Amino acid sequence: MTKLRGHNRLRLVMLGFMVCFAVIAARTGQLALLAPEAKRVAAPADVRIPRPDITDRNGEVLATDIKVSSLWANPRKIIDVDEAIELLTAVVPDMNTVELRKKLTKDKAFVWLKREVSPFERQAIHNQGVPGVGFRNETRRVYPKGRLAAHVLGYVDVDSRGLAGIEKFMDDQGALYTASLTDPEQMRAMPAQLSIDVRVQHALTSEIAKAVSHFKAKAGAGVVLNINTGEVLALTSLPDYDPNRPIDAQKQVNLNRVTTGVFELGSVIKAVTFAMALDLGVTDLNGRYDARYPLVVGRSRINDFHAQKRILTVPEVFLHSSNIGTARMALDVGLAGHKAFLQRVGLFERMRTELPEAAAPLLPKRWSKIASVTAAFGHGFAVQPLQGITVVAALLNGGRMVPPTFLKRDAATVDGFATRIIKDSTSRDMRHLFRLNALKGTARKAAQNAIGYQVGGKTGTAEKVINGRYSKNHRLTSFVGAFPMDDPKYAVLVMLDEPQPVKGTYGYATSGWNAVPAAGRVISRIGPLLGVEPKYTEEELQKISKKVTALKGN
């Protein structure tokens, strides 16, 4: 009987083991079958696709990801909160002990303690062996060129989400979600190649910074544009910020003045009025306008800054930047025709590019006779500076409006979206006026600082609105030019905010004394970089020879 009972117990034990093994085997099989599905569900939460590199048009890296570690904790596994705080702050003293205690006492399984710890901090904390504390591998966005092209690139937050510039554009376009999640080595999306040329960007930024400093301006901005493809080769707005430390990016003084700001560009807009009048046939280069007396419109009197007080030819109106002559052109066109032309060239609409930061123009509340007259010389409505240079580029490239872009563009695709705004013959006339202005008019200092590059351009000096009124002591000076004018390829804009008279400007602070020479220096630096060979006139060769002789004499 005893022997039988022993056999029964043995069978019972064996049966128990068999049941346990069966349960384990079933669970193992279940996990094996469900593992791929579990992996597919968990991957998006645990693995983040690295952001694409951003490069300039020649492949220079402007933004990339690097691997970093971030510190986290499971408060439920913290054994001694006080000891954990003491150990962690000994390694990372900038951690706030009050905030750290709040995090470590939460009833949660996961809290961030510090994002992006250094390798030294990681190793030191690891050696401490604090229970419930661990690290997660992440990526950090870095910008190897620092501040260069900051307003174009934009920046990201601590979770690597684009908040401005091209970084935000890529997020909005879904560029971060096109790579495969199954192979970490293939999870980097293709680089985003910009139209920016870092060499040109550096030259432009350097010259704008020098001009801001020399003329004691509040701010400065500039653009270099390929007038045939619409590619922005450089964009600068100073002051700027470092996208590696974007804490200052939201300060008003650091805004991107080229697309986020709108300004009255003053006499630069006269180029649009001239193109309108020439294209609609109300005048030609042989036309004349009476500038002997101020132009009276209602209760307003239009005067010239440098009044000639005589009848001016159309080229002379351009050279002397006559408000009176330009306003008369607009009156000849008429209210409806003037408004229609401004709409045709896009100055009544918000300009959109890849940069999300784009301001709408400030327009007259009512399109009246006086609104038309003042708009003719750039007074009373404000646009993005990028918008201004884009329109001028179209006036000089044969009459085709090419939308600007910050992405590298194939020249063969331009025809698909370019629109004609003026006749080719009108564009030839505008090129003649621009070149003439650099030789004999208000843009002379641009040509003098870029000998051989056949510069042409239009100047602008606009009074700023201070406390609701125009102030004669607060100016925005600008210059939009192009080169070489026999076959224009590139347009350049330089803008200075409240430049001051300095030694050598004889008390003047208008565009011809500051923005114009700065633009000339930009062109002389970027011309060789862009492969534009200088062509010297006999007079220019003589000037160069005299300078060489003088240098040898010293």
Positions marked active-site: 267
The C-alpha angle with vertex 217 and arms to 353 and 165, in degrees rounded to 5, equals 20
Distances in Å between the Cα of 345 and the Cα atoms of 101, 230, 273, 433 are 61, 15, 11, 19
Residue 112's beta-bridge partner residues?
Answer: 72
Host H or E run for residue 507: none
The Cα 221–Cα 201 span in angstroms is: 12
**Is residue 196 within 8 Å of residue 56, measured between CB atoms?**
yes
Strand partners, 295: 302
Q: How far apart are CA 489 and CA 497, in angstroms?
A: 27
Structural element, H or E, at residue 256: none
Structure tokens, 363: 């327009």
> Residue written as tokens 């099989």?
29
Residues 72 and 113 sit within 8 Å (Cβ to Cβ): yes
Amino acid identity of residue 376, one-letter, is: A
Phi first, then psi, for residue 523 (nearest 5°) are -65, -40
Distant-in-sequence contacts of 306-314, Cβ < 8 A, 24+ apart: 312/288, 313/285, 313/286, 313/287, 313/288, 314/274, 314/283, 314/284, 314/285, 314/286, 314/287, 314/288, 314/289
Q: What tokens does 166 get?
A: 């091209």
Given a contact cutoff of 8 angstroms between Cβ atoms, the answer to whether 354 and 236 are in contact is no
Structure tokens at 371: 């609104």
Residue among 243, 59, 245, 64 at smallest CA distance from 154? 243
Rounded Cα distance between 524 and 146, Å, is 25
348 burial class (0-12, 13-18, 19+ CB within 10 angstroms)?
middle
Q: What's the CA gap between 393 and 418, in Å, rounded?
A: 12
